[in-house]
Structure 1
Amino acid sequence: MNGLPLSDELCEKVVIGTLLNYPAEWAENTDLLCPELFTDYKCKTIYTVSKGVVDRGEKADIISVTAELAKTKAQGVSTVDILDISNHVALSSMRQQVSRLAELQRRREIWRIGQQMIQAGTDEGEPIETIQSQALDQLSNLFASASTEIQSIAQVATNYTQNIINANREGRRLQGAPTGFGMIDQRGGLQPSDLFVIAADSSQGKSSLALNMVVSAAKTGYPCAYYSMEMTADQLFARILATETGLPSNVLNTRPLTDEQLSRYQLASASVSQLPLYFDERSTSSLDGILSSIRTMVFRNHIKVAVVDYLQILNVNMKNVNKEQAMADAARRCKNLAKELNICIVLLSQLNRDRDNLQPSMARLRDSGQIAEAADVVLLIYRPEVYGSRYKYPDELSKVCTQGTAMLHVCKGRNIGTFRFVVGFNASLTKFFELDTIPEAEPNTDIDDNRPF
C-alpha cells in the first residue's frame, strides 16, 4: 500500500486504442465513458479530442482524431503516441475494460473524500453534522451515479406492468405505505419518492397525525423513522401507548394503574415493541444530521417512511441566507433525498397566523411558499373546536359537528388530486381515527370554549 489513488495505465491505453480502431464502441459504452476515467495525460487528451469529434456526429477513428489533434494543437501528444496507443486493442473485453476504469475512478473519488475526512479530523472549523452530511452525500451520489441507467419507455412499461402483475398475484399493495385513513390509502398512501407535507396552526395535532400514520404503516410491515425536535423517544412511545391502550399519557405517567389497566398496558407495550419503528434523538439538532441519519436508516433498517417534526425549528446550517430561503432549501433537500432513496419523507410545517380567517390554506405555509412547490402532497389539519363553538367547517361540511372531529384537507396532490374529509380526534389520547358515521352539529349546541386541549 503506497497510499496513492489507484490507476491502470495499460487498461486506459486498451480502451482508447479500441475506440480508435472500432469507433462503434462509443455507442456501446457511452453510459460509462467520461474524462475522469483517465489519469494518463495522453489518454485523457486523446479521449477529449475524440469526444469532440463524436459530438459533431463524425467517426472518431485514427485519421480523424490525428487531424483534430493537429488542428487543436494539443501539447504533449504526437502522431507517434496515437499510433502507439492504437496498437492496444481488446474488442472482445471492451466492456470489461471500461467497467474496470469506472471502478478505479470511483475508488479514486473515495480516496479524495477520505482525504477530506482526514483534513476535517484535524480542523474544528466545520460542524461535525455538516461534515458527516457532506461525506454521505458525496458517497451516495458516487454510487448512485454508478448504477444509473438510461431506460427506454418500453423498458419502463415492462417493469411497471410486471410490478402490477406480481402485486395482484401476491395480493399486496402496489406501492405506498398505509396511513390508516381510507381516503388517502385508496389513492396510494405514503408514496415512495414523495415529500408529504402536513401543515397546521399550533395545537391542531400535526405530530399526533404523523405519529398515527407511521404507526399504521409500521403495523403493516413498512419500517418507519420519526425525528422530533420537541419530544423524546420516551414521550413519543407514551403517545403511541395512549392510542393503543385507550389510556391517556398523563394516566400512564402519573397514576398507579389498576390491574385491568396494567394488563392493557403490557399487551399494548409488547405489541408496539415489535413494530419496525425507529427514533434517533442524537441526529435531531440539525437538518444535516437528520438527512444523514435517514440515509443510514435506509441502508441499515430499510425504512420506507421518515417523519421530520418540524421544519421551522430545524437548524439548517446555512450562512448568509434569510429564513425563507433556508426553509425553501430544507424542503427541496428533503424532496431530493426522498426521490434519491425512493422513500416517503413526511415533513411537518407551521402555518402563518391569520386572525381574520382561521381556516388553513396552502398560502399560509410559514416562511416560504416554496415548501408547497417542493411537496408532492400538502395536507392541512383544521379543528375549529380549538378556536371556539362559533367556528364551523367550510362549504359542504358546514353542518358537521366540530366537537371531537377534524378536517383533513389535501390541498395539493401531485398524483392523487385534491380532496377533504372529516375524521375523529380524541384529544386526551392525541389520536386521529376514521369515523363510521359523520356526526351532524346540533342546533344551538353549547360548547365550553375554555376546556383544555
Structure 2
Amino acid sequence: MNGLIPPNSVDFEKLVIGTCLIDQRGLKEVFRVIGDNQEVFYNPKHREIYRSMYFLASKNDPVDMMTVIRQLKKTGELNNAGGDQYIIDLTMGVSSSAHIEYHVRVIWEKYILRKVIEMADFMKLRAFDDKTDVFSVLDYTEKQVTQINSYLSGQKPIKSFFDVHQEFIEYVKSETIPGVPIPFKKLQEENQGWQNSDLIIIAARPAMGKTALALKLAKHAAKNDFPIHFFSLEMANIQLHKRLVADELEISSNRIRKKTFTENDIQKVYSNADFEHLPFYYDDSIFVWEEIKARARQVHEEKKTKMIIIDYLQLITTKQKFSTIDRVTFVSRELKMLAKELNIPVIALSQLSREVEKRPGKKPQLSDLRESGAIEQDADIIIFPYRPEYYGIETWPDEDEELSTKDQAMLITAKNRHCGDSEVIIGWKPEYQRFHDLEETNFEYRKNEYTATAEEAFGKPDDLPF
C-alpha cells in the first residue's frame, strides 16, 4: 500500500470490545451488525477477543471479562489477545452501551474502506494480466461493488412475525400498483403488474407475435414512467422502433416499410412529442451474456431501469464453451439471478420447438420449450402467445359454441409461481403489429381458481379492519 496505513479506528474498537464485555445489550447490537466477521476489527488483539466472545455466545455461555479470558487461555490465544491485563483495561472507562451503535458503525465503515482497497488492488492485478478477459474483469468489478454496497448497511436485523404482518397490512391498504403495469386488464388483475426479481418467459413459434407482445409490454411500462431496457439480439433498433411507431401512432406497418406515407401519417410523426421522450432504451449491439449483464447493470445504475426485456434467449452466446442445452441452462439461471440482483422484472423471449405444429390445434404447452427443463425451472411466469388464425384455424378449439379466431390471440399463462395458470383472449391488429384488450366476449378469460381482490375480501381501504 505504498507505506500508507490502512483505514482503521483502534480507539473505537477498544470502546466496542470493552462495552461488549460489560453490557449484554451492547453485545447484542454489535453481534447484529458484525455477526461472526471478526475481520471488521483492524487490531489483531481485538479480532482474537471478538472471536472468543462470539464463540461463547454461540454456545449460550455468558460473555464477560472473566469468561473471555478463560476461553482465550483454553485456546492458547491469550497472549495474542494482549494478555489478561489488556482485556481488563478495555473495560475501564466504559459506563454503558448508550452510543454503541455509533461506535460499531465507525469501525464497520473503516472495514469497508479496507475492503475497497483490497478489491481495487486485486482488480488492478487482473487488469494488468494480458490473459484476463476484459468482460470477466468488468463482471468481477460489478460484483465487488454490489458486495460493498451490501456491506454499507451491515447485517439487517431479523424481523418478528408482528413486524412483517404490519408491512403486510400496509401492503393491503395501499392503493398503488406494486409492480410494473401490464397493458392487458386480466393479466394486470391477476399479477398486479410484473413483480420485482421475477423472470418472465414469453415463448412461441415464429410469427406468433413474441416481439410485438414484448414491445407492447415495454411501451406500456415506459408510458407509465417505468424506464425500460430492451435488448434486441434479432432485430435492429430502427426495426423495433418502426413497430412501436406503427402501434402507437396507428400507421400501417406496410406503409412504414414501403415509405408510402400519407400526409396524415407524417403529421402524426412530427406532432407526437410525448412519444419521443419515453424512457425506453434500445440495445442491439451485444450478444454475449457477460457483456449483456455488464451493460444491464450499467444502464440500471444510470437510467434507473425498472424492467429488462431480452429478445431472445436462444441467441445469447457466452464466453465459456457450452453445448446448446448447457448454454441455455446457464443463461436461464443467469437471467433469474440478474432479476434478483437488480430487483426488477426481467422478461426473456424464447423459441418453442416444432412439436407444437405436429399437434392438432397447434396449442403450445410447457414441454414445447426448447431445452425446457432449465427454463421451466428458473422462470416465475411462462406465457405463450397463440394465434390459431395463423394456422388456418377459424374457431377456438375445445369450446361448446363456435367463436371466431379472426384478429384474435390467446395469452396462455402456463406457469405462474404467484397464482394459477390462465388463458386470456386479446385482440390482434396485423396492420399495426398490435395486441390489444378486447371488449367483453363470450370467451375472454379462464383461470384455474378464483382469487378475491383485497377490496372484495375486506372492503375499500377506509373500511379495512386493521
Taking structure 2 as the reference length, the TM-score comes to 0.84
Does the 8 A contact of 1:350 with 1:365 survive in 2? yes
1:109 aligns with 2:115: yes
* 1:411-430 equivalence runs, <5 A: 411-430=414-433
Question: 1:141 corresponds to which residue?
Answer: 147
Counterpart of 1:356 (choices 358, 368, 371) is 358
Question: 1:444 corresponds to which residue?
Answer: none
After TM superposition, give the deviation of residue 55 of structure 1 in Å. 0.1
After TM superposition, give the deviation of residue 214 of structure 1 in Å. 1.1
Counterpart of 2:128 (choices 122, 125, 130) is 122
Question: 2:100 corresponds to which residue?
Answer: 94
Does the 8 A contact of 1:201 with 1:352 survive in 2? yes
Does the 8 A contact of 2:235 with 2:284 survive in 1? no
Does the 8 A contact of 1:222 with 1:304 survive in 2? yes
* 1:66-77 equivalence runs, <5 A: 66-74=69-77, 76-77=80-81
Question: 2:301 corresponds to which residue?
Answer: 299
One-letter code of the match for 2:385? I
Does the 8 A contact of 2:230 with 2:309 survive in 1? yes
- Equivalent position SS for 1:121: helix
Structure 2 CA distance for partners of 1:315 and 1:79, relative to 1, 3 Å: same
Q: In 2, Cα distance between the equivalents of 1:246 and 1:143? A: 45
Does the 8 A contact of 1:325 with 1:368 survive in 2? no
> Which range moved further: 117-126 or 10-19?
117-126
Structure 2 CA distance for partners of 1:308 and 1:153, relative to 1, 3 Å: farther
Does the 8 A contact of 1:18 with 1:88 survive in 2? no
Question: 1:237 corresponds to which residue?
Answer: 241
> Which aligned segments of 4 or more residues in structure 1 are displaced greater than 4 angstroms?
1-4, 390-394, 437-440
- Equivalent position SS for 2:101: helix
- Equivalent position SS for 1:71: helix
Structure 2 CA distance for partners of 1:205 and 1:4, relative to 1, 3 Å: farther
After TM superposition, give the deviation of residue 379 of structure 1 in Å. 0.6
CA RMSD in angstroms comes to 2.6
What is the CA deviation profile of residues 52-109 of structure 1, one whole-angstrom value per residue up to 9, with x for unaligned ones?
1000001111111111111112262332343344447473321111111211222222
After TM superposition, give the deviation of residue 393 of structure 1 in Å. 4.4
Q: In 2, Cα distance between the equivalents of 1:72 and 1:194? A: 48
After TM superposition, give the deviation of residue 314 of structure 1 in Å. 0.9
Counterpart of 2:185 (choices 182, 186, 194) is 182
> Which range moved further: 365-374 or 40-49?
365-374
- Equivalent position SS for 2:299: helix
Structure 2: gaps of 5 or more residues: 444-466
After TM superposition, give the deviation of residue 116 of structure 1 in Å. 2.9
Does the 8 A contact of 1:179 with 1:212 survive in 2? no
* 1:394-405 equivalence runs, <5 A: 394-396=397-399, 399-405=402-408
Q: In 1, Cα distance between the equivalents of 2:119 and 2:282? A: 29
One-letter code of the match for 2:312? Y
What is the CA deviation profile of residues 217-250 of structure 1, one whole-angstrom value per residue up to 9, with x for unaligned ones?
1112222211111222222211100112222344
Q: In 2, Cα distance between the equivalents of 1:294 and 1:95? A: 36
Does the 8 A contact of 1:227 with 1:309 survive in 2? yes
Question: 1:314 corresponds to which residue?
Answer: 316
Question: 1:285 corresponds to which residue?
Answer: 287
Does the 8 A contact of 1:405 with 1:422 survive in 2? yes
Structure 2 CA distance for partners of 1:240 and 1:398, relative to 1, 3 Å: farther
* 1:182-331 equivalence runs, <5 A: 182-187=185-190, 188-268=192-272, 270-282=273-285, 284-319=286-321, 321-331=322-332
Question: 1:159 corresponds to which residue?
Answer: 167
Does the 8 A contact of 2:317 with 2:327 survive in 1? no
Q: In 1, Cα distance between the equivalents of 2:40 and 2:358? A: 62
After TM superposition, give the deviation of residue 51 of structure 1 in Å. 0.7
One-letter code of the match for 1:83? I
Does the 8 A contact of 2:381 with 2:417 survive in 1? yes
Does the 8 A contact of 1:305 with 1:345 survive in 2? yes
Question: 2:333 corresponds to which residue?
Answer: 332
Does the 8 A contact of 1:392 with 1:398 survive in 2? no
Does the 8 A contact of 1:176 with 1:191 survive in 2? yes
Does the 8 A contact of 1:163 with 1:174 survive in 2? no
Does the 8 A contact of 1:23 with 1:59 survive in 2? no
Question: 2:456 corresponds to which residue?
Answer: none
- Equivalent position SS for 2:399: helix
- Equivalent position SS for 2:99: helix
Structure 2 CA distance for partners of 1:81 and 1:392, relative to 1, 3 Å: farther
- Equivalent position SS for 2:33: coil
1:389 aligns with 2:392: yes
One-letter code of the match for 2:299? M
Q: In 2, Cα distance between the equivalents of 1:315 and 1:104? A: 41
> Which range moved further: 153-162 or 418-427?
153-162
Q: In 1, Cα distance between the equivalents of 2:112 and 2:397? A: 57
Question: 1:46 corresponds to which residue?
Answer: 49
Q: In 2, Cα distance between the equivalents of 1:339 and 1:120? A: 27
Q: In 2, Cα distance between the equivalents of 1:322 and 1:12? A: 53
Q: In 1, Cα distance between the equivalents of 2:284 and 2:392? A: 39
Q: In 1, Cα distance between the equivalents of 2:47 and 2:295? A: 38
After TM superposition, give the deviation of residue 215 of structure 1 in Å. 0.5
Count of matched residue pairs? 431
Question: 1:451 corresponds to which residue?
Answer: none
Question: 1:83 corresponds to which residue?
Answer: 88
Structure 1: gaps of 5 or more residues: 441-453
